[in-house]
Amino acid sequence: MLERYENLKRKVIERKNLFDRFLALLEAETTWLTSPASTRFHLAEEQGLLKHSVGVTETLLRFRETFAPAITEESCVIIGFFHDVGKLG
């Protein structure tokens, strides 16, 4: 899981500084790397939110190829990673 996460992070280039700063905050000050995706259902396990976010990001990248190639991979990573950030403890 962490290898997939790291590979996706490398796709952010133009907004790397802000992206890295936000991720550093999430990783150091929140439960970003350990939170479940939910408390009772989908991926209700340690790292569930990270697994979910990585999966959403990978799906966005696949959809992008067919449906929206004008959208950058970087945008897909940012949206995929952070779409549920409000769930963090």
- pLDDT, averaged across the chain: 95
Q: For residue 42, tell me if it sits in a domain.
A: no
Kindly report, residue by residue over 3-12, the tens digit of the pLDDT: 999 999 999 9
Measured between alpha carbons, how far is 38 from 49 in angstroms, rounded to an integer? 8
Q: For residue 39, tell me if it sits in a domain.
A: no
Q: For residue 58, tell me if it sits in a domain.
A: yes
Asked if 43 contacts 49 with a C-beta cutoff of 8 angstroms, the reply is: yes
Domain count, the chain: 1
**Long-range contacts at 43-52 (CB < 8 A, ≥ 24 apart):** 47/1, 49/84, 49/87, 49/88, 50/1, 50/5, 51/1, 52/84
- The parent domain of residue 74 ranges over 1-18+48-89
Read off the pTM: 0.93
Q: How many angstroms separate the Cα of 18 from the Cα of each of 25, 35, 45, 52? A: 11, 23, 29, 22
Looking at residues 63-84, what average pLDDT do you find?
A: 97
Kindly report, residue by residue over 16-46, the tens digit of the pLDDT: 999 999 999 999 999 999 999 998 898 999 9
